[in-house]
Amino acid sequence: MNTENFGKIKLGFDTGKVYSGRLDESYSEELPYNNGVDIVIKPKEIKTIIFEVL
């Protein structure tokens, strides 16, 4: 299967900012958080999401 997968990560608590990151945990870009974070993952891709917790 060679298609992208779409999903949403929801947390049960408040969060500050959300970032897409690299495997070394450096920040890549800020992501919008609106009752969750929408993500797109390609086959065999590893996605790092960094949450700043309040």
> Which pLDDT does position 1 carry in this prediction?
66
Question: Structural domain tally of the chain?
Answer: 1
Residues 6+ away with beta carbon under 8 Å from 36: 8, 9, 10, 11
Q: Please, what sign has the CA dihedral across residues 11, 17, 23, 28?
A: positive
Residue 44's identity, in one-letter code, is: K
For 1-54, what is each residue's pLDDT tens digit? 679 999 999 998 888 899 999 888 899 899 999 889 999 999 999 899 999 987
Maximum C-alpha span of the chain = 38
Domain that holds residue 29: 5-53
